[in-house]
């Protein structure tokens, strides 16, 4: 009957209807379950001991390896992290999140400690192989952790939860160099042993406190054809992802964003030196950037999580592009810090939404792979960004900042095209208040 059909239709979620207010920071923390808190703790502990990437070149030079080959070893580690994101995403879907995290962390611990044994000119070939394997193992846990976070929280809490995970990682990254400085005064080898021990601690915490098995909640099937707007439901490995054209646009946005971001560390210090500024100016820029991210991101996310994802993702890319393009203008130190603030604001506005996007749109059977692909593409950008940036700086000088702005604009266009209309399966999940959970131990 028409009246009955109309009454039934009124119970369907209406995407245009105002949704309940997004929770605040403290409310989100209180509402997270024990498993989410332990997962965030694992992320923090793992990042707390992440010394290899920071000090690998210095350690190898200290061990008698020349600077050129030490730099190649660092590049090999970066290659390993890109591969590790893809491997970890696949294993997270096939073996389960906790199994992948535990296996990756235990492997990373053994390989990291092995680096201290192989660090000599006579064993350089074996060292490079182990460095690549260590990069794979270290990065493989991250897609699994991100996928588990999406499994454990309701859809409306995902962006805030991703922001919490970013805070855990950033906090560990701030403390890690200070710990490393203290350890180096005793022994360089302690860097690798403590790094390995923190990986073991992360694995033990994961095994004891995180849910095992694989997510078992049914995947909502798309109702009706959506063409390219629908995420595939079948588990076809990475082939499924490659058929998702809009997700490929998202991956381009992640790659471009990472290339731009790395110019903070590659080209900005060169520009400041060329402009005659002392090193303390660059240190102040980095300190301000880290301070704003750590102190403000959760509170900005409190507001941003209520926005449409396309607004946050596209707006963040536009702000980043604007901030980096402004580095090419002449305006003294005030413009330098203002441009940095605009770029950092773009990161904290768009970052949580962009990193949450794979979990929002991926079919459940491929959630780990979608997340792994996003991490791999961002990692590829961090590897390509410094050499490309330095080459362009040498060729164009301040013209590189105009290119950064243009690339950021392309990233914003790609993000808009990828995020502006969620696939129907993700739309259904957004109105679900029940998190997906795995089976317990």
Question: 114 and 252 share a domain?
Answer: no
Question: 186 and 248 share a domain?
Answer: no
The range of the structural domain enclosing residue 299 comes to 236-430
Confidence of residue 109 (pLDDT cuts 50, 70, 90): very high
pLDDT higher than threshold 60 for residue 167: yes
What's the rounded mean pLDDT across residues 318-332? Answer: 92
What's the rounded mean pLDDT across residues 20-30? Answer: 59
8 Å CB contact between 135 and 18: no
Q: What is the pLDDT of residue 426?
A: 43
8 Å CB contact between 140 and 80: no
Residue 375 maps to a domain = yes
Q: What is the pLDDT of residue 110?
A: 93
Question: 194 and 242 share a domain?
Answer: no
What are the tens digits of pLDDT across the range 232-278? Answer: 344 556 777 888 889 999 999 999 999 999 898 888 888 988 888 88
Residue 11 maps to a domain = no
Dihedral, CA atoms, 119, 389, 277, 340, nearest 10 degrees? -110
Residue 307 maps to a domain = yes
What's the rounded mean pLDDT across residues 39-68? Answer: 82
The residue with greater pLDDT, 321 or 152, is 321
Question: 347 and 411 share a domain?
Answer: yes
Question: 295 and 194 share a domain?
Answer: no
Provide CB contacts within 8 A for 302, sequence distance 6+. 22, 23, 24, 25, 160
Lowest mean pLDDT among 24-33, 156-165, 235-244, 328-337: 24-33
Residue 25 maps to a domain = no
Residue 226 maps to a domain = no
Among candidate residues 291, 406, 304, 290, the one with its CA nearest the CA of residue 355: 304
Q: What is the pLDDT of residue 215?
A: 63
What's the rounded mean pLDDT across residues 139-153? Answer: 89
pLDDT, the chain, mean: 81
Domain end, chosen from 141, 174, 209, is at 209
The full 3-state SS of the chain, as one line of letters, equals: CHHHHHHHHCCCCCCCCCCCCCCCHHHHHHHCCHHHHHHHHHHHHHHHCCCHHHHHHHHHHHCCCCHHHHHHHHHHHHHHHHHHHHHHHHHHHHCCHHHHHHHHHHHHHHHHHHHHHHCCHHHHHHHHHHHHHHHHHHHHHHHHHHHHHHHHCCHHHHHHHHHHHHHHHHHHHHHHHHHHHHHHCCCCHHHHHHHHHHHHHHHHHHHHHCCCCCCCCCCCCCCCCCHHHCCCCCCCCHHHHHCCHHHHHHHHHHHHHHHHHCHHHHCHHHHHHHCCCCHHHHHHHHHHHHHHHHHHHHHHHHHHCCCCHHHHHHHHHHHHHHHHHHCCCCCHHHHHHHHHHHHHHHHHHHHHHHHHHHHHHCCHHHHHHHHHHHHHHHHHHHHHHHHHHHHHHHHHCCHHHHHHHHHHHHHHHHHHHHHCCCCHHHHHHHCCCCCCCCCCC
Domain end, chosen from 172, 193, 209, is at 209
Residue 189 token pair? 């080898």
8 Å CB contact between 357 and 418: yes
Q: Given the structure tokens 């400085």, which residue do they identify?
A: 181
pLDDT higher than threshold 80 for residue 208: yes
Residue 428 token pair? 């259904």
Distance, CA of 414 to CA of 401 (rounded, Å): 20
Provide CB contacts within 8 A for 426, sequence distance 6+. 231, 360, 361
Distance, CA of 124 to CA of 286 (rounded, Å): 34
8 Å CB contact between 113 and 101: no
Question: 299 and 421 share a domain?
Answer: yes
Q: What is the pTM of this model?
A: 0.79
Residue 355 maps to a domain = yes
What are the tens digits of pLDDT across the range 357-368? Answer: 998 888 888 888
Q: Measured between alpha carbons, how far apart are the two ends of the chain, in Å?
A: 49
Q: What is the pLDDT of residue 377?
A: 93
Question: 153 and 197 share a domain?
Answer: yes
Residue 327 maps to a domain = yes
Provide CB contacts within 8 A for 218, sequence distance 6+. none
Question: 42 and 122 share a domain?
Answer: yes
**CATH number of residue 277's parent domain:** 1.20.1250.20
Confidence of residue 25 (pLDDT cuts 50, 70, 90): low
Count how many domains the chain has: 2
Residue 321 token pair? 């592009």
Give percent of the chain with pLDDT exceeding 70. 83
What's the rounded mean pLDDT across residues 2-6? Answer: 41
pLDDT higher than threshold 60 for residue 216: no
Question: 186 and 257 share a domain?
Answer: no
What's the rounded mean pLDDT across residues 176-190? Answer: 82
User: What are the phi and psi torsion angles at 431 (to 5°)?
Assistant: -90, 5
Confidence of residue 76 (pLDDT cuts 50, 70, 90): confident
The residue with greater pLDDT, 339 or 157, is 339
Residue 227 maps to a domain = no
Question: 423 and 332 share a domain?
Answer: yes
Distance, CA of 353 to CA of 159 (rounded, Å): 6
What are the tens digits of pLDDT across the range 391-428? Answer: 999 899 999 999 999 999 999 999 999 988 654 444 34
What are the tens digits of pLDDT across the range 367-395? Answer: 889 999 999 999 899 888 888 898 999 89
Question: 190 and 269 share a domain?
Answer: no
What are the tens digits of pLDDT across the range 267-285? Answer: 888 898 888 888 888 888 8
Question: 415 and 267 share a domain?
Answer: yes
Q: What is the pLDDT of residue 189?
A: 83
């Amino acid at each position: 009957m028409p009246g009955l059909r109309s009454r039934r239709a009124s119970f369907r979620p209406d995407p245009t209807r105002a949704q309940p207010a997004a929770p605040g920071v403290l409310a989100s923390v209180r509402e997270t379950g024990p498993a989410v808190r332990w997962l965030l703790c694992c992320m923090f502990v793992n990042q707390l001991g992440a010394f290899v990437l920071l000090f690998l070149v210095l350690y190898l030079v200290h061990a008698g390896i020349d600077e050129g080959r030490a730099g190649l070893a660092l590049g090999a580690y970066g290659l390993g992290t890109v591969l590790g994101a893809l491997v970890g995403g696949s294993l997270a879907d096939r073996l389960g999140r906790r199994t992948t995290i535990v296996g990756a962390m235990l492997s990373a611990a053994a390989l990291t400690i092995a680096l201290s044994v192989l660090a000599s000119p006579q064993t350089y070939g074996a060292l490079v192989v182990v460095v690549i394997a260590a990069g794979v193992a270290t990065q493989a846990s991250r897609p699994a952790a991100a996928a588990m976070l999406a499994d454990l929280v309701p859809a409306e809490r995902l962006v805030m939860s991703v922001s919490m995970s970013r805070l855990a990682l950033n906090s560990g990254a701030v403390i890690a160099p200070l710990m490393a400085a203290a350890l180096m005064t005793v022994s360089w080898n302690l860097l690798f042993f403590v790094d390995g021990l923190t990986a073991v601690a992360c694995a033990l915490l994961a095994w004891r406190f995180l849910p095992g098995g694989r997510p078992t909640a049914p995947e909502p099937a798309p109702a009706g054809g959506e063409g390219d707007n629908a995420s595939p439901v079948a588990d076809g490995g990475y082939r499924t992802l490659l058929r998702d054209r809009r997700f490929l646009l998202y991956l381009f946005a992640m790659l471009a964003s990472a290339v731009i971001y790395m110019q903070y560390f590659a080209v900005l210090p060169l520009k400041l030196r060329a402009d005659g500024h002392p090193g303390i100016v660059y240190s102040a820029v980095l300190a301000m950037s880290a301070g704003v991210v750590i102190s403000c991101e959760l509170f900005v996310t409190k507001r941003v999580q209520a926005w449409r994802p396309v607004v946050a993702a596209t707006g963040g890319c536009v702000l980043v592009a604007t901030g980096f393009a402004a580095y090419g203008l002449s305006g003294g130190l005030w413009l330098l810090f203002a441009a940095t603030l605009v770029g950092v604001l773009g990161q904290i506005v768009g970052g949580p939404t962009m990193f949450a996007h794979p979990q929002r749109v991926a079919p459940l059977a491929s959630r780990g792979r979608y997340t792994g692909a996003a991490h791999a593409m961002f990692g590829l950008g961090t590897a390509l960004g410094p050499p490309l940036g330095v080459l362009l700086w040498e060729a164009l000088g301040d013209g590189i900042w105009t290119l950064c702005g243009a690339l950021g604009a392309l990233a914003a266009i790609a993000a808009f095209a990828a995020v502006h209309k969620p696939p129907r399966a993700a739309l259904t999940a957004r109105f679900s208040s029940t998190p997906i959970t795995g089976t317990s131990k």
